[in-house]
Amino acid sequence: MMNVDPGALNELLEESQDLQADAMRPTHAAIEELVELNHSSRDDDRTDNERFYDEHRAGVASSVGGAALLSAAGGLALVGVLASSAAAMSTQDVQILQTAASIENLAVSTYKTALTLPYIGGASANGVIRKFAQVTMSQHAQHAEAFNAAVRQLGGTAQTKPDPAFVPVVDKAVKSLSGVSAAAGTLGVVGLALELENIAAETYVKDTVLASAAVNKALFASIMGVEAQHVAVLLAVQALLKADAPTLISLAPGTAAKLPSVAGSVGFPNAFYKTNSAAPATQGAVK
Amino acid sequence: MMNEPQNEFQGTERELLAMTKELDDLHNDVGMPAMWAGVANVVENFKGETMAKAASRRNFLVGMGGVLAGGAALLTIGANPVLAGAATRFGATPGGHERADAFPPSGLTGDLAVAAVAASLENLAVFTYNAGLAAATAGKLGKVPPAVATFATTALSQHKQHAEAWNAVLAENHKAKVTVTNPSLTPVVKSDFAKVTDIPGLANLALVLETIAAETYQAETSKLMSSAAIGLSASIQPVEMQHIAVLYYVLGEYPGVQSASGSPLAFSPITKAV
């Protein structure tokens, strides 16, 4: 089991943020390119939004399964955060960037709530899962900032709300998690996070094509793989939890030798990343 | 599924070979159709304005629709890549003499040149995983954890599919397929592979190659012109990133893109892109 030193983690996150500032500098330097783009309007894809909602309402319900939990306090907090929703604006790049920011906002609030749970963020939690949730929440916050910075450069309004189509779905999932065991709760949170991460990854893969500006394509490209890695980790964690092998969720030396065969491939099931769960471009746009 | 004894891989050479053959069979029976389904999925999602826009922006369009139509013919092409070296010949000079160092081949520009480089990188990954599995089979890397063997065989299969996808793009545009490993990186990889004596060493080498591939796709995603090529590149980059995450986990490190000092990164860099 990995032991996490909070002080060391903070240093790690600070260092990471510094590095990110350096890494994002070229993106910000080139972002002026955005304002020269063709700001063509795009009709709202209401049909896509409705399809997305229907599909993922079922998807998250199944990922959470019958296990029901997330503590009442945590669950209510998330419900509160998710209560308001977003809508649509004008240009295509602005809209897809706002939608991306709304997905990131949803992810941040979900991880934030999950970390209030003793079996995710508490002392009794698996060290790797806890650190993953902490680091991943921080990364999603940085992604939201980056997307909103790009929105502002285009003269748009920053999206500070969560994805509206997904809010009721996550809300329902959170409520259904109430009162279950730590093991079932951990599995439920992992399933919910997995669903959100995959939607993010698939959306950004699609957005690399939809975005008009090269700088936005580059931004999506720099994030989509990070979300895909989150998916890979969560798939592996989910498999190990389902196999009742939580002790193998560890970075301790020698762990790899003990992993079952399937753990080597469960994290990357497809040779080509799909986009059929991608959020419609205008779903999270500011109206 | 996961309740089997969690000990080290005790397989024999025959078992490891059988595992590799099984993956090859899976590649042909499931992987290739899945590949075309995956690429079709990318194309399907990008139909309409983006494809038309790309066509107007460049004289040649990487015709993914045609690629899909030609996919069946590609099912029979599954040879392992040839290792690039001094005897490798690419392209041609104006005088008709072939040059060893012309890569991508001189007839390729723009998106097609990127396709050739991508195929060569995938070929290099295929070569390396094949060599690693062969070394493991020969007992040169010590005990092989079962998860590592599964990782290598699955990643190998996926890299083959990636190479085939890029070569399908080249073929559809009446260009020769790239069947060699990347000439620039091959000597370094050969040298590094010769020093590999254990599984962590092989994992570290694979990590470097996967990182180069992922960062190259990431960098090219904003430079490619045709929507289909962007979509293909963008559909592969996250998979290479997932390979990276698993490799880090195998090595006992944080399972995500990170700095040299091990700090997790929220944005993947492109400093190792070729």
Per-residue model confidence as pLDDT tens digits over B145-154: 999 999 999 9
pLDDT recorded at residue A8: 36
According to DSSP, residue A120 is labeled H
Residue of B nearest to A231 (CA): B242
pLDDT recorded at residue A254: 92
Shortest CA gap A251–chain B (Å): 4
pLDDT recorded at residue A168: 87
The ipTM assigned to this model is 0.75
| A214 lies within 8 A of chain B by CB | yes
| A39 lies within 8 A of chain B by CB | no
Shortest CA gap B269–chain A (Å): 7
**Is the pLDDT score of B28 beyond 60?**
no
Q: Name the band, by pLDDT with cuts 50, 70 and 90, for residue B42.
A: very low
**Is the pLDDT score of B115 beyond 90?**
yes
pLDDT recorded at residue B102: 73
Burial of residue A158 (CB within 10 Å: 0-12, 13-18, 19+) is: middle
Q: Distance between CA atoms of B144 and B152, rounded to whole angstroms?
A: 11
pLDDT per residue as tens digits for the range A20-70 = 444 444 333 333 333 333 233 333 344 555 555 555 555 444 443 332 333
Q: How many CB pairs under 8 A join A and B?
A: 246
Instruction: Give the three-state DSSP class for A40.
Output: coil
Q: Does A272 sit within 8 Å of B38, measured CB to CB?
A: yes
* Residue B263 CA: distances (Å) to CA of A29, A104, A258, B256: 24, 21, 26, 9
Q: Does A268 sit within 8 Å of B246, measured CB to CB?
A: yes
Residue of A nearest to B10 (CA): A257
Across A104-108, average pLDDT: 97
pLDDT recorded at residue A161: 96
Q: Does A201 sit within 8 Å of B265, measured CB to CB?
A: no
**Is the pLDDT score of A136 beyond 60?**
yes
Shortest CA gap A128–chain B (Å): 9
Q: Distance between CA atoms of B175 and B166, rounded to whole angstroms?
A: 11
- Contact assessment for residue B234 and residue A221, using Cβ atoms and an 8 Å cutoff: yes
pLDDT recorded at residue A118: 92
Q: Which of B217, B234, B263 sits opposite A12 (nearest CB)?
A: B263
CB-CB neighbors (< 8 A) of B31 in chain A: 271
**Is the pLDDT score of A246 beyond 80?**
yes
Across A124-140, average pLDDT: 97
Instruction: Provide the whole-model pTM.
Output: 0.75
Q: Distance between CA atoms of A18 and A38, rounded to whole angstroms?
A: 33
Q: How many residues does chain B have?
A: 274
Across A126-130, average pLDDT: 96
Q: Does A270 sit within 8 Å of B1, measured CB to CB?
A: no
B102: which 2 tokens?
A: 């012309």
**Which residue did the predictor score with more confidence, B247 or B13?**
B247
pLDDT recorded at residue B91: 32
Percent of chain A with pLDDT over 90: 62
CB-CB neighbors (< 8 A) of B234 in chain A: 205, 208-209, 220-221, 224, 273
Q: Which of B199, B237, B252 sits opposite A252 (nearest CB)?
A: B252
pLDDT recorded at residue B234: 97
Residue of A nearest to B160 (CA): A271
Q: Which of A56-65, A85-94, B243-252 has the highest mean pLDDT?
A: B243-252
Q: Does A261 sit within 8 Å of B4, measured CB to CB?
A: yes
pLDDT recorded at residue B15: 45
Residue of A nearest to B158 (CA): A271
* Residue B78 CA: distances (Å) to CA of A69, A124, A265, B184: 49, 50, 22, 23
Q: Which of A24, A226, A245 sits opposite B257 (nearest CB)?
A: A226
pLDDT recorded at residue A81: 37
Token pair 């996961």 in the structure block, residue: B2
**Which residue did the predictor score with more confidence, A54 or A233?**
A233
Q: Does B165 sit within 8 Å of A225, measured CB to CB?
A: no
Q: Distance between CA atoms of A153 and A265, rounded to whole angstroms?
A: 41
pLDDT recorded at residue A176: 78
Shortest CA gap B103–chain A (Å): 25
**Which residue did the predictor score with more confidence, B226 or B16?**
B226
CB-CB neighbors (< 8 A) of B158 in chain A: 268, 271
Domains and CATH numbers, chain B: 13-75+103-250 (1.20.1260.10)
- Contact assessment for residue B237 and residue A225, using Cβ atoms and an 8 Å cutoff: yes
B44: which 2 tokens?
A: 């399907």
Look at domain A44-249 and name its CATH class: mainly alpha
Q: Which of B35, B148, B157 sits opposite A264 (nearest CB)?
A: B148
Q: Name the band, by pLDDT with cuts 50, 70 and 90, for residue A258.
A: very high
Across A183-188, average pLDDT: 94
Q: Name the band, by pLDDT with cuts 50, 70 and 90, for residue B106.
A: confident
CB-CB neighbors (< 8 A) of A38 in chain B: none
**Average pLDDT value for chain B:** 75
**Is the pLDDT score of B45 beyond 90?**
no
Q: Name the band, by pLDDT with cuts 50, 70 and 90, for residue B17.
A: very low
pLDDT recorded at residue A50: 55
Q: Does B243 sit within 8 Å of A264, measured CB to CB?
A: no
**Is the pLDDT score of A145 beyond 60?**
yes
**Which residue did the predictor score with more confidence, A25 or B161?**
B161
pLDDT recorded at residue B16: 41
**Average pLDDT value for chain A:** 77
